[in-house]
Amino acid sequence: MSGRRAETLQKVAEAIADHVKDGALLGLGSGSTVAALLPILVRELKRNKVQRATWVPTSMQIQLEAERLHLQLAPLGRARVDLVVDGADQVDADLNLIKGGGGALLKEKVLLSNSRRSIIVADARKFAVRLCEDGVKVPVETSPFARVPVAKAIQEMGGEAHLRLDQRGFPLYTENGNLLLDVLFEPLKNPAKVEREVRSIPGVAEVGVFTVSPLEVFKLEDSGYALLRKR
């Protein structure tokens, strides 16, 4: 991690930690940005006397990072999460998101939908006017049984779906036992409509278009960060 990026993440962690109370239930998204931010955030929480936080991870990747830091973990239960910190693959001008590049989109969307406060941290290069600009694809998690009809239905919507493979060329399964289709759409004029229509296809577990609100987005820039809000 470069010194400038570390300084920016430090500032973001300080801003987040200032609004976390002792005993909070905190959610963790997945991906490289969250993994890099987590140890810095934990340090800032301790500095602010937050000693009894409980964390809800969304993937084995981030759970291992949390265990390495000796954090208290819990599954998602009846209580709403006080705060979720997550990343994004792309952010549009209205703060809609593409997420799930790491394959944890189902748990991430569930967690964000059950949070009192949702924070996204993303590099400036991940921002675009519309989602799917520059060839960024939308992950779609689907039942293996429904792979072919789901891909056909997406094609009829104007999308081009490709089965995600691992490094050996085998189908990549999510932690939920599903497959991932990476879908190339034209830049999305109406992300909420696409999210709704893809989710309605029988066999789809979740789609990586996120139109959740309210939302706070930390845009990481060379000189620091910009805080953007979606009501």
What is the set of active-site residues? 108
CA geometry: angle 130, 222, 59, nearest 5 deg = 65
DSSP state of 127: B
Per-residue tokens: 111: 């967690």
Per-residue tokens: 209: 């278009």
SS3 state at 212: coil
Residue type, 141: E
Q: What is the DSSP string of 133-196?
A: GGGPPEEEEE-GGGHHHHHHHHHHTT-EEEE-B-TTSSBPBPTTS-EEEEEE-SPPS-HHHHHH
Residue 46 C-alpha from the chain's centroid: 25
Asked if 86 and 108 touch (Cβ cutoff 8 Å), the reply is: yes
Distance CA 35, CA 25 (A): 18
